[in-house]
Amino acid sequence: MKRLTFAITGSAILALSGCATAPQEAKKDEPKPVEYAAPAVPGFEAMKIPADNPITKAKVELGHKLYYDKRVSGDQSKACYSCHVKEKGLTDGLATAVGAYEAKLTRAAPTMWNVGYIPNLYWDGRSPSLEKQVLGAMAGGNMGCAGKDKKPSVDECVARIAEPYKKDFEAAFGPGPVTKENFAKALGSFMRTIVSTDSAWFKFRGGDKSALSEQAQRGYQIFAEKAKCTNCHDGLMLTDNQFHNVGIGMEASKPDMGRGAISKDEKDTGAFKTPTLLDVSKSGPYFHNGSVKTLEEAVDLMSNGGKKNKFLDITNLKPANLTKAEKEDVVAFLKSLDVVYTIAEPTLP
Ligand code: HEC
Ligand code: HEC
């Protein structure tokens, strides 16, 4: 296999560092899209970019700032980044997230790695695009711009930053008012650049065997062959992007129905999206409800075949009867999936 090159990512990072200014002698109505090479994963399918929101450098730069700006949440206490921080593998380190106005949410923050490649967003896959997801996060408990109970609406939250960001929005979208639709487009464009190109896993898959330790390589072998974790955590991204019931939270008196509540299909009861395992050593506590503290316990649970319940996906998940040493190897493999986050904190206008 060919070795990976990082040329494309390099240009994306350069774009994010903001050292180049956008050459904008655009016509009055439309800003000229500046050539922008989104980071790509070599050897992987191309990211699907929505036709009505092509990636441009100006949009990514704007989205980068908005993603880190707390002023856009209802009580101005949370930025998107607040719950998707690099030290925690782009999650928040809590079992279940706490939103603006200290709202207690019911699910754990998932990682943002390679989110532009995920066709159905959220643990239950209810959101079909990043642009729609942004508006959902804004109006929901995360950002608290509910537009009722004395909370501002999404329009009002976005209006707060219209003045300081006027120039950035014009560079990205041309003259006109700052709208929540453009706000969502900018954030969507930025999130498509959160790609895990700087990871030992990608180097290993690209043919550089030395990228993983011997123990981690042994762990991968067990992960893929004996334990068949790859039935679901498959391929370069370590996910099939499908929904499976592995038994988490099913013992509750009113379990989270997960995908079942969206598809209305009984067999999806308690099924959740297979998460990528990139950066998983930092992203605990684990699972959609944060019910498992350590990676060791998570591997124990999964390699024992998940938690028994009526809807358990026994086709793909069977007890693997791993020895203690084999489990340790799998944990070593998972710990080698760390990713370097090279996106800097932006200066906010
Ligand atoms: C209070 C913490 C919190 C804040 C603030 C927050 N998120 Fe999240 N995020 C979550 C949680 C929790 C979920 C999972 C919700 C679910 O699955 O029902 C999530 C899910 C997501 C997903 C889906 C990822 C996937 O793998 O499917 C994306 C994308 C995302 N958030 C982006 C954002 C953006 C953009 C913002 C800012 C507008 C934001 N988040 C603000 C906690 C937060
Ligand atoms: C049937 C498909 C399937 C198989 C097989 C499978 N997983 Fe998973 N895995 C999932 C799903 C779905 C989740 C999320 C479940 C939830 O939160 O309710 C998950 C979650 C995890 C998590 C927690 C990640 C996080 O971000 O919270 C770890 C770690 C994990 N799996 C490791 C493994 C290992 C190791 C194996 C093999 C022993 C394995 N999985 C086999 C589907 C699978």
Q: How far apart are CA 349 and CA 343, in angstroms?
A: 18
Q: Which two tokens stand for residue 31?
A: 């800003």
Q: Which ligand is nearest to the CA of 255?
A: 2
Instruction: Give which of 303, 259, 306, 299 is closest to 281, Cα–Cα.
Output: 299
Average pLDDT over residues 156-163: 97
Q: How far is CA 23 from the centre of its chain?
A: 31
Structure confidence by residue, pLDDT tens digits, 97-153: 999 999 999 999 999 999 999 999 999 999 999 999 999 999 999 999 999 999 999
Pocket of ligand 1, beta carbon within 6 A: 78, 80, 82-84, 92, 97-99, 105, 107, 109-110, 115, 118, 121-123, 130, 133-134, 137-138, 142-143, 187, 191
Residue 41 has pLDDT above 60, yes or no: yes
Q: Cβ(39) to ligand 2 under 6 A?
A: no
Structure confidence by residue, pLDDT tens digits, 54-88: 999 999 999 999 999 999 999 999 999 999 999 99
Q: Which ligand is nearest to the CA of 135?
A: 1
Contacts of residue 39, defined as CB under 8 A and 6 or more positions apart, other chains included, come to 8, 9, 12, 193, 195, 197
Instruction: Give which of 242, 247, 245, 238 is closest to 283, Cα–Cα.
Output: 238
Maximum alpha-carbon separation in the chain: 67
Output the CA–CA distances (angstroms, integers) from residue 166 to 60, 145, 256, in the order listed.
Answer: 15, 21, 42
Instruction: Give which of 121, 273, 274, 281 is closest to 199, Cα–Cα.
Output: 281
Output the CA–CA distances (angstroms, integers) from residue 293 to 5, 112, 127, 270, 290, in the order listed.
Answer: 36, 20, 28, 20, 7
Mutation pick for ligand 2 pocket among 229, 234, 239, 311 (CB with most ligand atoms within 8 Å): 229
CB 62 within 8 A of CB 18: no
Structure confidence by residue, pLDDT tens digits, 164-173: 999 999 999 9
The mean pLDDT value of the chain amounts to 91
